[in-house]
Amino acid sequence: MKTTLKTLSLIVLVACLVSTKGFAQQDGFSNELLVQSNVLQKGLTPSASLSTYEPSHSLRIEDEGLSTSISKRRRNSWNTNFGIDKYYPRRGTENFVNVYVGLNNWLEDGDLPNSDELYSLIPINSWYLGLNFDNVTHVLGPLFLDWGIGASMQDYAFENTRVEVIKQDDAIQFQELADITGRKSKINVSYLNVHFVPTFSFGRYRDFRVGFGVYGGYRISSNTKMKYDDASGDKQKDKVNDSFHINPFKYGFRAQIGWDFFDMFFNYDLTEFFDEDINAPRLTPVTFGVIF
């Protein structure tokens, strides 16, 4: 019985070898392949003093003009090359396009205005939306400079939706309209901005960062918008484009903190919202939000 099994196994093995050779010749391939090692081709041999030897993970096969290169990358090579450059650069400057989304409010004498003031805001409707071309420059060690230029649109939505902003020669007046049903009332201002924020970045991949710096802006447009139902119940919408004595320049302090892919920012204006030489509430804007 054992002799019969051995004979059958030998017959199957020979048949497989013959069919493999025929298949290779039919497809135009030869079984005579030249495998060249980069080390042996140069006449080099691994040093006998090496305790470990790592192959190059590459194989080159040549046969009568047919050249094929096969390489296998180690599974963790991408992570190894990433190093500390995952978020902030090891050297030089990295460029980003970031979207800023946040909420606005303003302070009066360091505190939020009372809700019974006509210029009191509802923060959830007072949006900040910005688009920035940001750069991060490696200075030294964990110190980086986050700097950039961009544009922003800022809404200041009044809590009282029947408030109308009236511009006078040397004053700004907030007036409540009694004969309407208010739906929305706000001031919208657009700026061109720059910022410079020294930032410390820590961690294996520089994935935790905190910074404190300055920013400035120049007002490029401003308007007021009101949506309301008049005394007859008809829907109305008023938009007035004007400077409204809004300060044309602003500057202040900026703080940033981030971890992994998530970043937050906080802006505190050192300039008042309205010109200082007019009769208007002394309001100082503040903004906080996230960076995408």
Q: What is the 3-state secondary structure (H, E, C) of 91-122?
A: CCEEEEEEEEEEEEEEEECCECCCCCCCCCEC
- pLDDT confidence of residue 7: 58
Contact 221, 232 (CB under 8 A): no
* Per-residue pLDDT tens digits for 142-196: 999 999 999 999 999 999 999 999 999 999 999 999 999 999 999 999 999 999 9
- pLDDT confidence of residue 37: 47
- pLDDT confidence of residue 204: 72
- pLDDT confidence of residue 15: 56
- pLDDT confidence of residue 90: 78
- pLDDT confidence of residue 64: 55
- pLDDT confidence of residue 139: 95
158 has which bridge partners? Answer: 121
Q: Check residue 71 and report its DSSP letter.
A: E
- pLDDT confidence of residue 196: 98
- pLDDT confidence of residue 8: 57
The CB density around residue 152, as the number of other CB atoms within 10 Å, is 20
Burial of 271 (0-12, 13-18, 19+ CB in 10 A): middle
Helix (H) or strand (E) holding 213: strand 208-229
Rounded Cα distance, 91 and 140, in Å = 9
- pLDDT confidence of residue 28: 46
Low-confidence ranges of the chain (pLDDT < 70): 1-87, 205
- pLDDT confidence of residue 61: 54
Contact 189, 246 (CB under 8 A): yes
Q: Check residue 203 and report its DSSP letter.
A: S
Task: Write down the pTM of the prediction.
Answer: 0.70
- pLDDT confidence of residue 261: 85
Contact 262, 240 (CB under 8 A): no
N residues, the chain: 292
Residue 88, CA atoms < 13 Å, CB-side half-sphere: 28
Rounded Cα distance, 170 and 245, in Å = 8
φ and ψ of 178, to 5 deg: -90, -20
- Tell me the one-letter amino acid at 23: F
- pLDDT confidence of residue 69: 46
* Per-residue pLDDT tens digits for 193-220: 999 999 999 877 678 999 999 999 999 9
Rounded Cα distance, 160 and 180, in Å = 12
φ and ψ of 26, to 5 deg: -65, -35
